[in-house]
Amino acid sequence: MTDESGPLASIYRLRDFRSKRASSWDRTGGNTDWVVVQPGQAHTLLDEATPGCVKHIYWTYIEDDEARRLNIFRGMVLRAFWDLADTPSIEVPLGDFFGVTNGQVRPTRSLAFVTNPGASPYGHTTWGFNCYLPMPFATGARIEIENQGATDGRIWYHLDYEVYAAEASLPENSGRLHACWTRENPTQAIAVPQGQGEIKNLTGDDNYVILDTQANGQFVGYFLSGDPTYITNHNSARGVIRRMERDELLEVIIRQYLDMVKE
């Protein structure tokens, strides 16, 4: 019996597909392999009208100006539209989608996301971002970034994907990747009861809701940032967040998801 476990278990199977790449390559044949998105403008990263699946997204930047760098992370919005939909299935600030929270870039090592520090001979700040979550589509896909900030944004990118001759090449139970972004700004503090050292919450009231949806799907994961250094101290919010347990937030998310599936 063939062992079907492991990432290379099915590499011997012949499949009917074409590998393609969309990137910021220089259309003039030169070496200006980046795009500059001006404030208020959008740039299309991928536009396909056939069945397929995105396998890998990579992008990077070289920017030592903090304001311009923060605009790339939060001011530029990533959107993905599957199967000719008018509403994006993914709508998240570019940096936040790749785990850049509150302007802080951290090394990431996982099956889904990898973030690596870059090296520049000029001392510029640079990081490389990778996403390996598969993103299937049956009739087409469009992925874009829009600059909603006040400064232009310069990035390098490439997207590796497969296209198929027929929609039947996708498994019947293929879902679509969705991602959203939420925040509370400023964070609202909840007062600790007088005489107690912590907040005890058995009802879930006043918990921050990360996801509230009704659909048939699977919860893949989330990025959660609670770094007190970047949280306002208004109404003692910084001190309160230090006393919150991440497992409490995760418990709420999973419980709401399971309740939704039962309905």
Domain end among 145, 170, 195 = 170
Residue 156 and residue 87 share a domain: yes
Show which of 170, 201, 236 is a domain's final residue.
170
**Rg over CA atoms, the chain:** 21
Tell me, yes or no, whether 3 lies in a domain: no
Single out the residue of 5, 76, 13, 84 nearest to residue 41, CA to CA.
Answer: 76
Same-domain status, 190 and 159: no
Q: Provide the pLDDT confidence category of residue 61 given band limits of 50, 70 and 90.
A: very high
- Same domain flag for 163 and 261: no
Query: Residue 231 sits in which domain range?
Result: 182-263
For the chain, the 3-state helix, strand and coil shares in percent, each to the nearest 5, are 15, 25, 55
Q: Indicate whether 161 and 133 sit together in one domain.
A: yes
- Average pLDDT for residues 188-216, to the nearest whole number? 82
Q: Please name which of 43, 45, 48 lies closest in space to residue 18, comparing C-alpha atoms.
A: 48
- Is 10 a domain residue? no
Do 154 and 235 sit in the same domain of this protein? Answer: no
Q: What is the mean pLDDT of residues 82-111?
A: 93
Residue 38, pLDDT > 90, answer: yes
Alpha-carbon span 31 to 156, nearest angstrom: 12
Are 129 and 258 part of one and the same domain? no
Q: Is residue 8 part of a domain?
A: no
Q: What is the pTM of this model?
A: 0.81
Residues 55 and 140 reside in one and the same domain: yes
Tokens of 250: 């995760």
Half-sphere exposure of 147 (CA within 13 A, CB side): 21
The string over 33-65, giving b where at least 16 C-beta atoms fall within 10 Å of a residue's C-beta and e elsewhere, is: ebbebeeeeebebbebebbbbbbebbbbbbbee
Query: Is the residue at 5 inside a domain?
Result: no
CATH number at residue 54: 2.60.120.1390
Based on the fold, state whether residues 104 and 223 are members of the same structural domain.
no
177 within domain boundaries:
no
CA nearest neighbour of 43 among 168, 175, 156: 156
Q: Please tell me the distance from the alpha carbon of residue 170 to that of residue 50, in angstroms, as a whole number.
A: 12
Confidence at residue 27, expressed as pLDDT on a 0 to 100 scale: 92
Establish if 263 belongs to a structural domain.
yes
CA distance to 28, 31, 46, 138, 139, per residue, from 166 (Å):
34, 36, 19, 8, 9
The residues pairing with 141 across neighbouring beta strands, listed in sequence order, are 48, 82
Q: Is residue 7 part of a domain?
A: no
User: Is 2 within the bounds of a domain?
Assistant: no
Beta strand 141-147 with 76-82 is antiparallel
d(CA 28, CA 51): 29
Cα distance between residue 77 and residue 71, in whole Å: 10
pLDDT of residue 250: 59
- The pLDDT of residue 101: 84
Answer for the pair 53, 141: CB distance below 8 angstroms, yes or no. no
Structural domain count of the chain: 2
What mean pLDDT is reported for the chain?
85
Mean pLDDT of 76-86: 97
